[in-house]
Amino acid sequence: METTQLPLIGDKAPSFKAKTTLGEISFPDDYKGKWVVLFSHPADFTPVCTTEFYAFQKRFKEFQKLNCELIGLSVDSVFSHIKWVEWIQENLDAEIKFPVIADETGKIAIKMGMIHPNRSAVTVRAVFFIDPKGIIRAILYYPPELGRNFDEILRVVKAFQIADEHKVAMPANWPENELIKDRVIIPPPSDMKLIKERLKQYDCYDWWLCHKAL
């Protein structure tokens, strides 16, 4: 199957129309003003993917509270998707409330760089974090044999929203950073004049590493 250059962080998310389990969508136009987690899975009716869909649905309300929509995708047919989500509801008691794209031709997956021929003949486990302006903010990739950490996906959305609102950066393992716990990092000063002010204004390890509570 043909491959293409994957979209990069900071790029505008590619536009497409697609058939889904919840009807046709026009992306990203239908999601203006919302955060979106667009993710691909290798195949329906597979064990790891089933656990992932269950995990996403269990956190669905948490994503909704963050004004964040979920969109799944694989190269299976819409009929396969529908039967699979029915199976999940009947057997695992989880109703999948987000749309799942049926990308049977693989055109969207190719456009998004979700197919890695040297690793898989189908879509890998890609995750695209897209902001309300339609800009790709982060990208994660996992191989077929490794399920994703869904608390991390939720954490990324929360962190971006706080970083954007307060113009700060987020430390490693936020909100449980080993040095500053749930505090956030102040961007370094842009000139020498601001160094002394920065040291007086915030808690700092040095002028280039200052932090504050939200």
CA 126 to CA 119: how far, in whole Å? 13
For residue 101, give Cα distances in angstroms to 80, 121, 189, 196.
11, 18, 45, 53
Active site residues: 49
CA 57 to CA 85: how far, in whole Å? 11
For residue 214, give Cα distances in angstroms to 10, 74, 159, 202, 211.
26, 39, 12, 12, 10
- The pair of three-digit structure tokens given for residue 108, joined into one six-digit string: 């969207």
